[in-house]
Amino acid sequence: MSPKPLFLKPRGAAELVPWEEIAVDAPEVGPETPLGDAQFVALDVETTGNAPFLVLEIGAERFRLDRTLSFFDTLVDCRAPINPYARKRHHIDRSMLIGAPEFKDARRAFLRFAQGAVLVEHSHDAFDTWLVGRGLESPLEHPIIDTTALARLVLDLPKGQTPGLARLVEELAVDITPAHAALDDARATAMVFRELIRRAREMLGWAVVGDVLSALPRPVVDRTPPSRRGSAAAASQSPDARGRTAPPRSAAPPATPRATSRAPSGRRGRSSRRRRSGSSGSPGGSRA
């Protein structure tokens, strides 16, 4: 029996779009992969704005440093209330989510789209990739790069400063406008990343993916609710818990990336995060 067809719902689309996987010729990405050969996926999500911050929209661009490969864009029907402040920022309301895939289906499609690539997020606390990976039996295997940390290093910003995406777009003079919409902001993140990496290669001599990963360690963020932190800390000191470690993140994910649908029509974009959103265009992922 063939699996039930999956339909995505890009923001602003007149009708649902069937999820279609398009093979991407990607090399296996590892620490020794030359930056010019690696494929990246810039990711952005919009959420309900209410704890536990459920995903309303996933947008992504799959790219190489020299060109865009494909796009992924869909609203997500989380069937939960949307915080009024978040709604004012990303302009997503309940009526827009009718017919959109549930999170588990949207995530399954996104993970196929991002297979074999390095994930790129503008998220100093790893929030976007944490949301995508939340509830999975094992952590995301992709190497992950944060453009806020990359910008601090390349632009020599004060330690602890978290530059917003709009600020980086302006400072780097890239031709895009952040819009608080997942795909638009993913595209802006991809453009910012390309320019920061271009400068880093000139300034720091970076040549391979491992150069970036070793210079930008991932943050470890405790998202345990404050009321549970005491008991969680106590449990971690129990005889059964001592010495356990989380499974390591693979530096070299499997290399059979896929893509999905058609490219958006000359849009531009940026986003904020658990609070953000805006307006996107087409779904899935398609060759650009």
Q: Is the pLDDT of residue 225 over 80?
A: no
* Range scoring the smallest mean pLDDT among 49-58, 135-144, 189-198: 135-144
CA pair distance 60, 41, nearest whole angstrom: 6
Q: Please determine, for residue 272, whether its predicted confidence score (pLDDT) is greater than 80.
A: no
Structure tokens at 165: 């995406």
Instruction: State residue 259's pLDDT score.
Output: 39
Q: Is the dihedral of CA 84, 184, 151, 124 positive or negative?
A: positive
pLDDT band at 256 (very low <50, low <70, confident <90, very high): very low
Tell me how far apart the alpha carbons of residues 192 and 114 are, in angstroms, rounded to a whole number: 19
Q: CA 26 to CA 4: how far, in whole Å? A: 27
Q: From CA 128, how far away is CA 119, in angstroms rounded?
A: 10
CB 58 within 8 A of CB 132: yes
Q: DSSP assignment of the chain, as one string?
A: -PPPP-EE--TT-SS-EE---EE---PPP-TTSBTTT--EEEEEEEE-SSTT--EEEEEEEEEETTEEEEEEEEE----S---HHHHHHH---GGGGTTPPPHHHHHHHHHHHTTTSEEEE--TT-HHHHHHHTT-SS---S-EEEHHHHHHHHTTPPTT----HHHHHHHHT-S----S-HHHHHHHHHHHHHHHHHHHHHHH---BHHHHHHHSPPP----S-HHHHHHHHHHHTSTTTTT--PPPPPSS-----EE-S---SS------STT--------S----
Residue 139's contacts (CB-CB under 8 Å, 6 or more residues apart) are 133, 246, 247, 249
pLDDT of 239 reads 46
Please report which confidence band the pLDDT of residue 247 belongs to, taking 50, 70 and 90 as the band edges: very low
Beta bridge partner(s), residue 23: 258
pLDDT computed for residue 23 by the predictor: 63
- When pLDDT is cut at 50, 70 and 90, the band that residue 179 belongs to is confident
